[in-house]
Amino acid sequence: MGPMNTQKNSFIQAAFLLLALLSATGCHKPEPPEYYGFQDIRVTGTSGNTTTLATTLKLYNPNPFHLTLKKAEMDISVNGQLSGHSVLDSTILIPQRDTFYVPVSLQLNLQSVLNNALAMLLSKKVKITLDGRAHLKKGGFPLSVPFHYETEEDLNSLLPSGF
């Protein structure tokens, strides 16, 4: 057997090893992070019918590997009415099977929030829905993962001075 065949066999063995390694580590799309809530809501500006809120989302990565969040976009609905949109365009490292925090700036349409004001005041609860897509990287490979989070929050917990 000549040196050319030995190199060819070594290359084929390395290719099979790489293929086996890739299939063992998984080429599955990662599970989306689990929503654990938000904290520290504050108004950072108002302009016309739009209010800008800043908050921090608390999330959990259920995957057995770390990820890198490159960008995320989401629509925010309050009591079933589309109320705003948010775009996060910064790099955040996400640890494996751990909690992480994402700072978010939300543009809310005051008209849609005011349309729900009476229902919120009577029930003292608000249903918040976040729908969007996270653009992630797993080991250098880009991924796009949709997400949907829905929660019902007590107005007392949302307002700094209580309700």
Q: For residue range 12-68, list pLDDT tens digits in order.
A: 665 555 554 444 445 567 888 898 988 888 888 888 888 888 889 999 999 999 999
CA 127 and chain centroid, separation: 18
Q: For residue range 75-105, list pLDDT tens digits in order.
A: 999 888 888 899 998 899 999 999 999 999 8
Q: For residue range 119-129, list pLDDT tens digits in order.
A: 667 777 888 89
Q: What is the pTM of this model?
A: 0.70
| Cβ atoms of residues 56 and 40 within 8 Å | yes
